[in-house]
Amino acid sequence: MALSETLLPLVLSNLPIILPLLLLLHLALIYTHNSLHKFPGPLLPSLSNVYRFFIVLRQRPELWHQSLHRKYGPVVRLGPNSLMFSSPTSLKAIYGLNKGFVKSDFYIVQQAVVKGERLESLFSTTDNNFHSQFRRCVSSAFAMSALVQYEPFVDNTTKLFLRQTENLFAGKEEGCDFTRWLQFYAFDVIGEITYSKRHGFIENNEDVDGIVSYLSKLFLYVAPVGQMPVLDTLLLKNPIYLKLSQWGLLDSTFPVAKFARDRMAERIPDVDSESLLPVSSTGLPGAGPQQPDLLSKFLAAKEKRPDFMTSAEVQTMAVSMAFAGSETTAITLSAVFYYLLRNPPALEALRREIDSFAREGRFSDYETGLVTWHEAQKLGYLDAVVKEAFRMHPAPGLPLERVVPEPGVEIDGRWVKGGTVVGVSAWVMHRNEDVFGDGAEAFRPERWLPDPAKVAAGEEEEAKRIKNMDGHMLQFGMGSRTCIGKNISLLEIYKVVPSLLRRFEIRLHDPSQEWKLVNAWFVKQNNFQANFEKRPLVMPEGGISEEKV
Ligand code: HEM
């Protein structure tokens, strides 16, 4: 008798037992994958990424991450192949330079598709070699020393922003959707720094080409799908879609990419050094002072390294500026104002600082209220407020995932096998009381200032405490993949916050209303309505000198 004749009926008759056994075996293999069963964590997420997908879909995963660490300690198993850490030492182990970690597939979900091909950006590439070459090509455009060149662009947009805030919202009882208004500001500043041309959000007080809502929707997709990247190959990057895109039958180019393409077309026709210079905001070449903008620097990098930087890299870089630099800056600005309005003593202290600076005649502009980067550097309480807002509300709301290199590494004294996805969440790290002191849940800018009582006991200790806090801030990431646009965003934030406070009294439209957070990779605020009243500029006590007007 053939084996199949005896075995098949046996298997079939025992299916009700065999199937559950196979399922159990399968689950046991997942559970023990990479020996991750040795790490604490809830059972269901360790068996399938579906659990995490739904948590992120519900848009407040940072609360889940915080509660997991409270319950399980400094390392938690977050999925079949992923761990989340929270200790200060894990930061260096995971994000330290030259450790060989690469970004996880979460970032591949964020890659755009152009003509059926995935487009790797500086932000989304998972290839360390490609990344380091790319970063080297463009890094000088983002150096602190380049800021001086961008300040006139930020000034243009900020002055318009102040004017429009007065025209559109001052004295209006209905107030304004502050987060949205700050988003318009951030998009226009980035447009101006990148192309010397604003998109027109502030002028028109509208979401030009639906860019803001497109980006929001994209992040709502990226965040949950990034928990199960395989879904992306069934959804936005499915083979049919890729083919249609390759054949040109489907053009899903993001509106910012179209804007970038048009600006490049204006400059690329004859690429000599003259044509790399930007056209002015009016769009007329030669009108107004010419400053090098980011696009001109990316084009110059293309000239210098044609073997690496093609037009595609230039365009990707230009588009990344809007992708990575607008929402994140707007979120931070919203956080600064929300926490100030919710904490009147902090708002009062900042006003006092700005007003006495004005009374001493230390601002250069007493007409529009604009504050220069150089002046803002001298406002110590402003610095404390901005840092505290970054701490309380870091823009990235998910762990910054990295893949452990083979054969594995030791993190916090525990061996983690190669291939495991690990990460730290800024929302967890920033509330670590060992680093940030007691009451880390509360907004208290004073924690960033030397405590006068302790200074008496030795200034060095206080300086060390503050430096240590600085070293554990994760809002810009850490290590080789740290935010390249950090200086640009700081330039915007440190200028526009005091400028707005010089010009306006700002209050919450309805203090009984809390803002509503949506964590879709970046933690955006909704329901933040504010009212503006015009405020006379505080003048210097000794009168105003001619050149300061
Ligand atoms: C407050 C504002 C900003 C915040 C909170 C922020 C946050 C971040 C974070 C957390 C990362 C690292 C992501 C990771 O490791 O997974 C990053 C990378 C990056 N950011 Fe920003 N960012 C801000 C502003 C900007 C601006 C203004 C620009 C452009 C002008 C920009 C461009 C980039 C780019 C290109 C990268 C990728 C860098 C690399 O991988 O080498 N960001 N940003």
> Tell me: the pLDDT tens digits for 454-489?
777 766 889 999 999 999 999 999 999 999 999 999
Residues 126, 143: Cα–Cα separation, whole Å: 24
Q: Is 94 in the pocket of ligand 1 (CB under 6 A)?
A: no
Q: How many CB atoms lie within 10 A of CB 104?
A: 22
Q: Is 329 in the pocket of ligand 1 (CB under 6 A)?
A: yes
Using most ligand atoms within 8 A of CB, pick from 102, 328, 488 the residue to mutate for ligand 1: 328
Q: Is 325 in the pocket of ligand 1 (CB under 6 A)?
A: yes
- Rounded mean pLDDT, 353-375: 97
Backbone angles phi, psi at 388, to 5 degrees: -70, -35
Q: Is 302 in the pocket of ligand 1 (CB under 6 A)?
A: no
Q: Give the pLDDT score at 1.
A: 58
Position in ligand 1 atom list of the atom nearest CA 317: 35
- DSSP output for 229-283: THHHHHTTT-HHHHHHHHTTS-----HHHHHHHHHHHHH-SS-STGGGSPP-TTS
Q: Give the pLDDT score at 263.
A: 82
Q: Give the pLDDT score at 2.
A: 67
Contact by Cβ (8 Å): 363, 377: no
pLDDT above 70 (res 272): no
- How big is the chain, counted in residues? 549
> Tell me: the pLDDT tens digits for 58-111?
999 999 999 999 999 999 999 999 999 999 999 999 999 888 999 999 999 999
Q: What is the pTM of this model?
A: 0.94
Q: Is 320 in the pocket of ligand 1 (CB under 6 A)?
A: yes
Residues 225, 52: Cα–Cα separation, whole Å: 10
Q: Is the peptide bond before 407 cis (omega within 30 degrees of 0)?
A: yes
pLDDT above 90 (res 44): yes
**Gyration radius of the chain over CA positions:** 26
Position in ligand 1 atom list of the atom nearest CA 474: 10
Contact by Cβ (8 Å): 526, 515: yes
Q: How many Cα neighbours within 13 Å face the side chain of 386? A: 20
Q: How many CB atoms lie within 10 A of CB 193?
A: 28
Q: Give the pLDDT score at 283.
A: 41
Q: Would you place residue 259 in the very low, low, confident or very high pLDDT band (cuts 50, 70, 90)?
A: confident
Residues 520, 221: Cα–Cα separation, whole Å: 8
Between residues 241 and 284, which one has the greater pLDDT?
Answer: 241
Residues 414, 437: Cα–Cα separation, whole Å: 26
- CA–centroid distance, residue 320 to ligand 1 (Å): 9
Contact by Cβ (8 Å): 296, 276: yes
> Tell me: the pLDDT tens digits for 406-445?
999 999 999 999 999 999 999 999 999 999 999 999 999 9
Q: Which amino acid is at 385?
A: V
Q: Give the pLDDT score at 275.
A: 43
- Rounded mean pLDDT, 22-37: 96
Distance of CA 493 to the CA centre of its chain: 14
Q: Would you place residue 274 in the very low, low, confident or very high pLDDT band (cuts 50, 70, 90)?
A: very low
Q: How many Cα neighbours within 13 Å face the side chain of 139? A: 10
Beta bridge partner(s), residue 170: 532
The residue among 477, 506, 378 whose CA lies nearest residue 123 is: 477
Q: Whose CA is nearest to atom 21 of ligand 1?
A: 483
Return the structure tokens found at 51: 């659990």
Q: Which amino acid is at 209?
A: D
The residue among 435, 468, 408 whose CA lies nearest residue 94 is: 408
Q: Is 395 in the pocket of ligand 1 (CB under 6 A)?
A: yes
Q: Please enumerate, by residue number, every residue annotated as part of a binding site.
A: 483
Beta bridge partner(s), residue 76: 84
Cβ-defined contacts of 508-517 (< 8 Å, 24+): 508/341, 508/342, 509/174, 509/175, 515/179, 515/334, 515/338, 517/59, 517/60
- CA–centroid distance, residue 499 to ligand 1 (Å): 24
Kindly report which listed range (110-114, 212-216, 351-355, 404-408) carries the lowest average pLDDT score.
110-114
Q: Whose CA is nearest to atom 1 of ligand 1?
A: 329
Position in ligand 1 atom list of the atom nearest CA 326: 27
Q: Is 400 in the pocket of ligand 1 (CB under 6 A)?
A: yes
- CA–centroid distance, residue 486 to ligand 1 (Å): 7
Residues 128, 100: Cα–Cα separation, whole Å: 8
Q: Give the pLDDT score at 389.
A: 98
State whether ipTM is beyond 0.85.
yes
Contacts of 426 by beta carbon, 8 Å cutoff, 6+ apart: 394, 396, 397, 400, 473, 474, 475
Q: Please enumerate, by residue number, every residue annotated as part of a binding site for heme.
A: 483
Torsion region of 477: left, alpha or beta (phi above 0 gives left; psi -120 to 50 gives alpha) = left
Q: Give the pLDDT score at 288.
A: 37
The residue among 84, 56, 58 whose CA lies nearest residue 71 is: 84
pLDDT above 50 (res 287): no
Q: Is 258 in the pocket of ligand 1 (CB under 6 A)?
A: no
Distance of CA 506 to the CA centre of its chain: 26
Backbone angles phi, psi at 82, to 5 degrees: -140, 145
Task: Return mean pLDDT, the chain.
Answer: 92
pLDDT above 60 (res 548): no
Residues 387, 252: Cα–Cα separation, whole Å: 38
Residue 306 vs residues 65, 300, 447: alpha-carbon distances, Å: 44, 10, 48
- CA–centroid distance, residue 121 to ligand 1 (Å): 12
